[in-house]
């Protein structure tokens, strides 16, 4: 496990020449555009500390990613699942005079308008596009709601056959309310039976509903007790994450789910390890 830093900064700063000279002398590759210079280096690299000190003086910034070896990943039992592909926005959007998607698909009485928590679904998600392109192996998200995912019939049949802890429900068109063909919402009811331990994350308590939310930071690791007995392939985290009106639980999946995704070559899916300790 290693922290990998991606540095991005303005190359017009006076000290940027010093950094470029140092990178060149160590034969470290970087990308240089008209305004920005960027490069990636692992914390275990012997040049990292010197580079980090130079970048700090230039007021550069870094995105931190925790990278695991293939051997380490093979020993991890649970992962947080994220998707890169989205189907658009839930309907209606905020500027619709009839109301927004919270009014149509969720319980407005429990939903907090300050932090977005207590979002309890009461009816199908409505989508705008009637002819959404659906791959044979399909797994997608949606804007504004990070813990709701969608699959096609084929993917749902594989998950239902081989995995536990998930069910499926219909998705409807915004206009006409007809159900989509070959598109289903993935539903997860079970909460992960332990709270996570973070090595770093910001905490926020809503002044209106008192819900505690966490703002996940780059490079944060998540831990659960290794003695925990788990028997499902899908869970939702007990913790809620997000800034502003974003208020989502992590989707937690087993190594079996990860291996299934890899064997069927499902695309647009990211797995972040959840570590047992």
φ/ψ of residue 9, rounded to 5: -155, 165
Domain 2-67 has what CATH class? alpha beta
Strands 251-254 and 78-83, sheet pairing: antiparallel
- Beta-ladder partners of 248: 241
123 is written with which tokens? 């009816």
Q: Cα-flanking dihedrals φ and ψ of residue 48, to 5°?
A: -60, -50
Q: Which pLDDT value is given to residue 15?
A: 53
pLDDT at 130: 62
Q: What is the pLDDT of residue 135?
A: 64
The answer to which of 24-38, 110-124, 155-169 has the lowest mean pLDDT is 24-38
Taking 60 as the threshold, does the pLDDT of residue 272 lie above it?
yes
Confidence of residue 63 (pLDDT cuts 50, 70, 90): confident
Mean pLDDT across the stretch 74-94? 87
Give me the mean pLDDT over the 178-185 stretch.
Answer: 88
Q: Say whether the peptide bond before residue 5 is cis (omega within 30 degrees of 0).
A: no
Tokens read off for 32: 């240089």
Using an 8 Å Cβ cutoff, are 241 and 249 in contact? yes
Question: 3-class DSSP state for residue 54?
Answer: helix
Across the chain, mean pLDDT equals 86
Count the alpha carbons within 13 Å of 6 in the hemisphere toward its beta carbon: 9
Q: Which of 146, 234, 233, 252 is nearest to 195 (CA)?
A: 252
Q: Per-residue confidence at 260, pLDDT binned at 50, 70, 90?
A: very high
Q: What is the distance between the alpha carbons of residues 188 and 165, in angstroms, rounded to a whole number?
A: 6
Closest alpha carbon to 235 in 218, 252, 219: 252
The token duo for 38 is: 């960027």
Give the pLDDT confidence score for residue 131 in this predicted structure: 57
Question: pLDDT tier at 209 (50, 70, 90 boundaries)?
Answer: very high
State the pLDDT confidence band at 202, using cuts at 50, 70 and 90: confident
Q: How many CA atoms lie within 13 A of 179 on its CB side?
A: 10
> Tokens representing 133?
């392109």
Contact 1, 68 (CB under 8 A): yes
Domain limits, the chain? 2-67, 73-82+191-276, 89-109+120-186
User: Between vectors from CA 28 to CA 27 and to CA 30, what angle results, nearest 5°?
Assistant: 125
């Amino acid at each position: 496990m290693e922290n990998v830093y991606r540095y991005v900064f303005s190359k017009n700063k006076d000290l940027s020449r010093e950094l470029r000279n140092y990178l060149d002398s160590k034969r470290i590759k970087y990308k240089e555009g008209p305004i920005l210079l960027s490069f990636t280096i692992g914390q275990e690299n012997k040049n990292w500390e010197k580079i980090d000190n130079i970048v700090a003086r230039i007021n550069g910034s870094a995105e931190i990613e925790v990278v695991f070896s293939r051997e380490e990943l093979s020993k991890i039992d649970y992962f947080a699942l994220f998707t890169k592909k989205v189907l658009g926005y839930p309907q209606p959007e905020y500027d619709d005079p009839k109301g927004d998607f919270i009014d149509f698909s969720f319980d407005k009485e429990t939903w907090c308008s300050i932090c977005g928590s207590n979002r309890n679904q009461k009816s199908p998600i409505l989508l705008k596009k009637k002819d959404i392109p659906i791959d044979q192996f399909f797994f997608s998200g949606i804007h504004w709601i990070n813990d709701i995912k969608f699959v096609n019939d084929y993917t749902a049949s594989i998950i239902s056959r081989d995995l536990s802890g998930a069910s499926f429900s219909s998705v409807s068109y915004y206009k006409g309310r007809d159900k989509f063909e070959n598109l289903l919402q993935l539903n997860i009811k079970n909460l992960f039976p332990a709270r996570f331990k973070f090595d770093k994350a910001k905490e926020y308590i809503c002044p209106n509903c008192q819900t505690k939310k966490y703002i996940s930071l780059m490079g944060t690791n998540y831990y659960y007790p290794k003695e925990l007995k788990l028997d499902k392939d899908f869970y939702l985290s007990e913790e809620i994450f997000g800034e502003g009106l974003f208020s989502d639980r992590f989707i937690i999946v087993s190594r079996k789910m990860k291996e299934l995704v890899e064997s069927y070559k499902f695309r647009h899916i990211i797995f972040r390890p959840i570590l047992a300790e």
